[in-house]
Amino acid sequence: MRAYLAAALQMTSVPDLAKNLAQAEDLVDLAVRRGAELITLPENFSFLGDEAAKLEQAATIQAASEKFLKTMAQRYQVTVLGGGYPVPTEDGKVYNTALLIDANGPLMRYEKVHLFDVDLPDGNTYRESSTVCSGQSLPGVYPSKDLGHLGLSVCYDVRFPELYRHLSQMGADVLVVPAAFTAFTGKDHWQVLLQARAIENTCYVIAPAQTGFHNSRRQSHGHAMIIDPWGVILADAGVEPGMAIAEIVPARLDQVRRQMPSLQHRVFI
């Protein structure tokens, strides 16, 4: 692993595949021009809005999303994480799938395990399981020689620390948390959960995000972030489309793990 710049993109995706991919392409291009070598896109980067429309177009969205990610990785010779797009299943639902890819092709795929089925105090109800199948495998860690050991997750996963402890036990240096966090939960929980995952696992956290209104009811929190292993926020994208960009530094990772070797002090493993 060497020092490099990572970008956590922030988008306002809508129920318009072409419009979303055009927005994503502009942001990827900007991130590359700023020097990023690892570029992460948020959950639902290619389509976010009406669930029925997503199901109806799922195969088209999948094909376009994967073609886009491959094109970006090859064109710019970078590693890209597509934080979440639908992949149809045999039972008429989809997997919420994250894909890590570089110029040579796909590196790792993860199907979101924890599904967002909640009734929020603001009156909104979410039932992700009505259209999405839970993945059946824990996420993996991709051992990149240049970028470190990359651990994958998606959005609601961030509330389940055992998943990230699994990733740290597999040697993760960098935890990626692409999300479409709701505005209501995000204001109280987004930052603190990301910092907790970074601190307890002494890992960098890269968290691309959705922001703003996606339709008449759904609003995302924004604040794509990159956080260091001590829990320090290195970059915060705020609430407008754009990106958080920061350097991932192996010497900083080693320093924190040397000064706070909590992973070595675990009693119950």
Tell me the per-residue pLDDT of 138-151, one tens digit each, with 9 for 90 and over.
999 999 999 999 99
Q: Which residues of the chain fall below pLDDT 50?
A: none
How far apart are alpha carbons 135 and 86 in whole angstroms?
A: 12
Could you give the angle at the alpha carbon of 100 between the alpha carbons of 56 and 84, nearest 5°? 30
pTM of the model: 0.97
Strands 233-236 and 242-248: unpaired
Q: Which residue has the tokens 């009693």?
A: 267
How far apart are alpha carbons 139 and 154 in whole angstroms?
A: 9
How far apart are alpha carbons 157 and 44 in whole angstroms?
A: 15
Q: Considering its fold, how many domains does the chain have in total?
A: 1
Phi-psi category of residue 64: left, alpha or beta, with phi > 0 → left and psi -120 to 50 → alpha: alpha
* Residues noted as catalytic: 43, 112, 155
* pLDDT score, position 269: 77
CATH number at residue 206: 3.60.110.10
Structure tokens at 5: 């710049």
Name which of 184, 134, 133 is nearest 160 in CA terms.
Answer: 134
Range of the domain at 258: 4-265
Q: Which residue has the tokens 């970008």?
A: 7
